[in-house]
Structure 1
Amino acid sequence: MRSAPASLALLWMVLAPPVAAAEPSPARPLRVLFIGNSYTYNHNLPAQLEGLARSATPPLRLQTRTIARAGVRLQQHWDRGEALAALRQGPWDYVVLQEQSTLGLRLIDGRHAVNDPELAFHPYARRFAEEARKVGAQPLFLLTWARRSTPGSQTQLTQAYMSVAQETGAPIVPAGLAWERSRQELPALELYHADGSHPSAAGSYLTAACLYAALTGQSPEGLAATVSGHPSPEGVLDPSRTVTLASLSPEEAAHLQRVAWSTYSELRERGGYLTVGPLPPEPLPSLPEGLPLEPAALVGTWEGELRFYSEEAGQSPATLQLVLKPRGSGLGGTARIRFAQGKREGPQVLEGLTVEPTRLRFTTPVVSQGRGRVEHEAVLTAEGLVGRALYENPRNHDRYVGTWKLQRAPAPP
């Protein structure tokens, strides 16, 4: 057996039954429902799976349906009802569940971090798994991959998926582990889109090969290196056209097929599940000790770096400008934000602005979403104003936490 990737060395085995080899009736194809988002519909992953299955000897007939929209989570799928209605219409043999890439939006200083799976992922994963079984379908969890810039988050994603899969008795499609292995063994083969998050055609091909192994219990080695199907821009299938979804060299295809099979086989030999103990949350930014504050000492224009919005979206680091003016016995003011790509927002009136003995507090709108408020607190240090910004959405559990550092701008001549 090949040695496991570095993060797998941290994992210990939990026995659970792997996916049984599929034996569809000759009278009808194996029917698979996909519930996910852009990780599922980019390069039409379900159609790539169909293409691989057609190239097998003998061919395996698959019929898939996809309910997927950009950025949508299982919680949103549940609330919208379309996925649940499709699931209940059936009949389905398998239901493939794919959660948002970081289990909900969690930004720390502009970097995407894996969210707490118990906030939304696990509760709705349990609901969908239960509903799948009610209609006689086997739920599967598609373990996704870490983003290119945060490879260490694979362990967190693995723990989150494996734990709920074991709890519900649902098999795992170990795509994220296969991605990790492929990146170590053949880093020149690019699995990512240019954004470092979504899959390239090769990345979707590797995921499709993992799905083939998990659904059939058979190796994808020797299957087609080029697969075609209908495109699905933004998750909407276009049946009027047939395009090449992935076209790899024989050597690239052989590598990805072998990685998919060896990753699945090792997981099966370990009992179907891997897990780690609870992982400590990533520490959040904190503020240093501050100097005593007096409103008069804060009057003026302050400007500097804000690390709060998404780095991947080109929004961070941004420039934050605060203009503080006397207002009665206290202060009033405005904020302007200039994003990294040049877009400007503001001026925004600072609401709830208060000056405490060592803390400045106010709120601003959530610029990237157009709703909600960002809570700011800041201290005065020898280097200037040092602040922390916090946004939380209690409905979908989005959370941004970021820092800013401002210095007093020189007075105009």
Structure 2
Amino acid sequence: MKHWTTKLGGLALLGLGACGGGGELPPPAPPASVPTPAGTAPAAILFLGNSHTHVNNVPELVRELFQQGGGAVAVQAAPDYLFLDERLSDGRSVALLASAGWTHVVLQAQKLSSSWQFIYPTAEAQEWVRRVKERQALPVLFPEWPRAGQDEAGRIYAVYESIAKASPACLAPVPQAFDRVRSAWPELPLYAADGNHSSPAGALLAAFVLYASASGKPLEAGPPLLSSPVDAASQALLREQARASLAAGPSARAYCP
């Protein structure tokens, strides 16, 4: 399932977006309304998203990065490719949130208009943020990367930023990282053939940004991730570009650890 929707004849039809969605220096401490996981405690991370989370296994990449950071970590992705509004009525997703002592919950798949002619409500995403904080976990918003060939990173980020401002949550600047790499290294393939989902390199770039945003730790040089097929030199380049994007960090990152 894609994260884009197209209005046609009064019906909302799922449509192809472009690759992804459009997605360190320690930021300021988050406000008291946002739970801050203990830095040395084991991490338990739940991902609620659609195919953009599942393709090339972004959760597993984030798990390995947390492990490299020196802590025990458990990661689980909710089943099925659902939008956040659909997950509110999905019993398995609701039960999964309540089933364990999650420290972080990554939220991806806010509905977006493929033509940018329609505005979809964000109340359901805000409700997920509220429920996550009620469980004393850190909500991490995962804005998708811009589609291949599209100048929409700012629009995608703005939708998720509005969610974070309405219901404080950590906001990972994934779209900005993709724009940076597309500009500096256009030969590096970030997209699958459909121009919407990620390539392995694109998924890794998103994982770098998500890890640093959720953990609050600087994205330092490290060994190549074994769970990624991307070559070591490209992994190092992507890590550096993610770090640069995080250092330039938008103001909404104040809600991250």
Task: State the TM-score, normalizing by the size of structure 2.
Answer: 0.79
1:78 equivalenced with 2:65 (yes/no): no
Match of 2:100 in 1: 90
The residue type equivalent to 1:247 in the other structure is: P
How far apart are 1:97 and its partner, in Å? 0.3
Match of 1:260 in 2: 242
The residue type equivalent to 2:115 in the other structure is: A
Q: Contact 1:37–1:73 at 8 Å: present in 2 too?
A: yes
Unaligned runs of 5+ in 1: 1-14, 107-111, 229-245, 274-413
The residue type equivalent to 2:170 in the other structure is: P
Query: What does 1:279-298 align with in structure 2 at a 5 Å threshold?
Result: none
Match of 1:251 in 2: 233
Residues 52 and 115 of structure 1, relative CA distance in 2, 3 Å threshold: farther
How far apart are 1:125 and its partner, in Å? 0.7
Residues 182 and 63 of structure 1, relative CA distance in 2, 3 Å threshold: same
Q: Contact 2:170–2:214 at 8 Å: present in 1 too?
A: no
Distance in structure 2 (CA, Å) of the matches to 1:31 and 1:135: 12
Q: Which has the larger radius of gyration?
A: 1
Match of 2:158 in 1: 159
Equivalent residue pairs, number: 225
Residues 68 and 16 of structure 1, relative CA distance in 2, 3 Å threshold: farther
Residues 186 and 77 of structure 1, relative CA distance in 2, 3 Å threshold: same
Match of 1:168 in 2: 167
Highest RCO, 1 vs 2 (Cα 8 Å, sep ≥ 6)? 2
Distance in structure 2 (CA, Å) of the matches to 1:68 and 1:146: 24
SS of equivalent residue, structure 1 residue 226: coil
Q: Contact 1:40–1:46 at 8 Å: present in 2 too?
A: yes
Distance in structure 1 (CA, Å) of the matches to 2:205 and 2:156: 18
Query: What does 1:299-378 align with in structure 2 at a 5 Å threshold?
Result: none
Q: 1:113 aligns with which of 100, 112, 115?
A: 115
Q: Relative to total residues, which structure has the larger helix share, 1 or 2?
A: 2
Query: What does 1:166-205 align with in structure 2 at a 5 Å threshold?
Result: 166-205=165-204
Q: Which contiguous aligned blocks of 4+ residues in structure 1 show a shift greater than 4 angstroms?
A: 18-22
Distance in structure 1 (CA, Å) of the matches to 2:73 and 2:210: 12
Residues 178 and 22 of structure 1, relative CA distance in 2, 3 Å threshold: farther
The residue type equivalent to 1:63 in the other structure is: A
Distance in structure 2 (CA, Å) of the matches to 1:199 and 1:227: 18
Q: How far does the alpha carbon of each residue in 1:193-217 deviate from its partner, in whole angstroms, 9 at most, with x for none? A: 1110000111111111111111222
Match of 1:210 in 2: 209
1:32 equivalenced with 2:32 (yes/no): no
SS of equivalent residue, structure 1 residue 96: strand
Q: Relative to total residues, which structure has the larger strand share, 1 or 2?
A: 1
SS of equivalent residue, structure 2 residue 238: helix
Match of 2:16 in 1: none
SS of equivalent residue, structure 1 residue 166: helix
How far apart are 1:224 and its partner, in Å? 2.9
RMSD: 2.4
Q: How far does the alpha carbon of each residue in 1:281-321 deviate from its partner, in whole angstroms, 9 at most, with x for none? A: xxxxxxxxxxxxxxxxxxxxxxxxxxxxxxxxxxxxxxxxx
Unaligned runs of 5+ in 2: 1-27
Percent of residue pairs bearing the same amino acid type = 27
Q: Contact 1:45–1:208 at 8 Å: present in 2 too?
A: yes
Distance in structure 2 (CA, Å) of the matches to 1:77 and 1:139: 15
How far apart are 1:149 and its partner, in Å? 3.3
The residue type equivalent to 2:129 in the other structure is: A
Residues 206 and 86 of structure 1, relative CA distance in 2, 3 Å threshold: same
1:67 equivalenced with 2:78 (yes/no): yes
Residues 260 and 197 of structure 1, relative CA distance in 2, 3 Å threshold: same
Q: Contact 2:66–2:73 at 8 Å: present in 1 too?
A: yes
SS of equivalent residue, structure 1 residue 267: coil
Match of 1:287 in 2: none
Residues 95 and 115 of structure 1, relative CA distance in 2, 3 Å threshold: farther
Query: What does 1:126-165 align with in structure 2 at a 5 Å threshold?
Result: 126-150=126-150, 152-165=151-164
Task: State the TM-score, normalizing by the size of structure 1.
Answer: 0.51
The residue type equivalent to 2:39 in the other structure is: E
